[in-house]
């Protein structure tokens, strides 16, 4: 193991492959050009469909430094971040046994309720090889100016402010890397992971660093389904909506190009399929809520999103 850097490292299990039918879609999401993303229009789109896809909002230079920092986060022996998750494929190189899997701390990690193992040190492996298994990185904006600048980009913060109708705070950031063959992020609502009052306007934004396509694991959404409110989540391949609750109606894939930004409601059901290409798919995701928000406890969140205690099965 490498020297401790006050980092938390998570080793996920091998995740069972999803049924390909779960990501068949009725169509593709329609975007608006950056110069058409007027506040009123964007607000209406968010209210109606639960997301706004803005094309060409960021320039190549907006993304360049952030992408370099993200690469460093995945390859460094001393990454400037709080937490790193590795895909199940790394287990074979570390001889981790599933018998030692435990529920990983969802509180600090915000990862929900997946089984796996965690530690305080990166595995002592060739960094370039190890980087092939990185799935997620969290807690990096304070030490990576390019990734921070992206979260504070005036066009982004301006639209986020319009969409949540008050001064926003960034309360979570994550980088999401889907290696070739990388696992699915099953259908879920982000608010099922946050201890925030149900009526809080929570906004996620998702920014790819290369083309995001149905083949490499782009976003898929249930257009308009945020209006139905919370859905029960279950511990299955992840903390997720039951596969049989993911309807085909209004299921859209959201292909994106570098420069595009997806703004989406914290109650919008969404997921990303396995990466079927030989290239990594890179993205960052930032979450904003009003500055004034007061957190609730786990019990309050699980009352809305937890399956326990409800007469529902999956
Ligand atoms: O980027 C991905 O693959 C999925 C990200 C996501 O939906 C999440 O982590 O909440």
Give tens-digit pLDDT for 234-272. Answer: 988 988 999 999 999 999 999 999 999 999 999 999 999
Ligand 1 centre to CA of 176 (Å) is 7
Which residue in 273, 4, 286 sits closest to 159, CA to CA? 286
Mean pLDDT, residues 51-63: 97
The pLDDT assigned to 1 comes to 44
Q: Which atom of ligand 1 approaches the CA of 271 most closely?
A: 7
* pLDDT tens track for 147-158: 999 999 999 999
pTM of this structure: 0.95
With the most atoms of ligand 1 within 8 angstroms of its CB, the residue from 85, 209, 219 to mutate is 219
* Residue 110 clears pLDDT 60, i.e. is over it: no
The pair of three-digit structure tokens given for residue 233, joined into one six-digit string: 């989540």
* pLDDT tens track for 38-48: 889 999 999 99
The strand ranges marked E within the chain are 8-11, 27-28, 32-33, 51-55, 83-86, 102-103, 115-119, 134-138, 168-178, 185-188, 203-208, 219-222, 233-235, 239-241, 251-254, 261-265, 270-272, 281-290
Ligand 1 centre to CA of 141 (Å) is 18
Structure-model confidence comparison of residues 19 and 314, the more confident one: 19
The pLDDT assigned to 108 comes to 56
Residue burial 8-35, b: 16+ Cβ < 10 Å; e: rest: bbbbbbebeebeeebbebeeebebbebe
Domains with residue ranges and CATH for the chain: 19-74+138-305 (2.60.120.620)
* Residue 107 clears pLDDT 80, i.e. is over it: no
């Amino acid at each position: 193991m490498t020297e401790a850097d006050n980092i938390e490292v998570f080793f996920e299990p091998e995740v069972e492959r999803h049924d390909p039918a779960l990501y068949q879609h009725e169509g593709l999401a329609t975007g608006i050009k950056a110069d058409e993303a007027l506040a009123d229009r964007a607000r209406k789109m968010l209210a109606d469909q639960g997301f706004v896809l803005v094309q060409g909002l960021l320039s190549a230079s907006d993304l360049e430094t952030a992408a370099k920092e993200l690469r460093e986060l995945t390859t460094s022996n001393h990454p400037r971040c709080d937490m790193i998750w590795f895909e199940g494929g790394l287990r074979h190189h570390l001889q981790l046994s599933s018998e030692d899997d435990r529920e990983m701390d969802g509180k600090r990690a915000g990862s929900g309720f997946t089984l796996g193992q965690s530690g305080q040190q990166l595995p002592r492996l060739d960094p370039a090889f190890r980087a092939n298994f990185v799935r997620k990185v969290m807690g990096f904006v304070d030490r990576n100016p390019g990734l921070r600048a992206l979260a504070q980009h005036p066009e982004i913060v301006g639209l986020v402010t319009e969409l949540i109708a008050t001064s926003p705070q960034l309360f979570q950031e994550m980088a999401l890397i889907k290696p070739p063959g990388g696992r699915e992020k099953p259908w879920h609502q982000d608010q099922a992971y946050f201890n925030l009052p149900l009526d809080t306007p929570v906004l996620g934004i998702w920014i790819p660093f290369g083309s995001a396509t149905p083949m490499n694991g782009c976003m898929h959404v249930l257009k308009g389904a945020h209006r139905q409110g919370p859905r029960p989540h279950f511990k299955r391949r992840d903390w997720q909506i039951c596969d049989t609750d993911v309807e085909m109606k209004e299921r859209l894939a959201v292909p994106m190009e570098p420069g595009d930004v997806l703004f989406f409601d914290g109650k919008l059901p969404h997921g990303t399929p396995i990466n079927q290409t030989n290239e990594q798919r890179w993205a960052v995701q930032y979450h904003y809520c009003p500055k004034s928000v007061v957190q609730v406890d786990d019990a309050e969140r699980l009352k809305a999103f937890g399956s326990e205690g409800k007469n529902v099965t999956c």
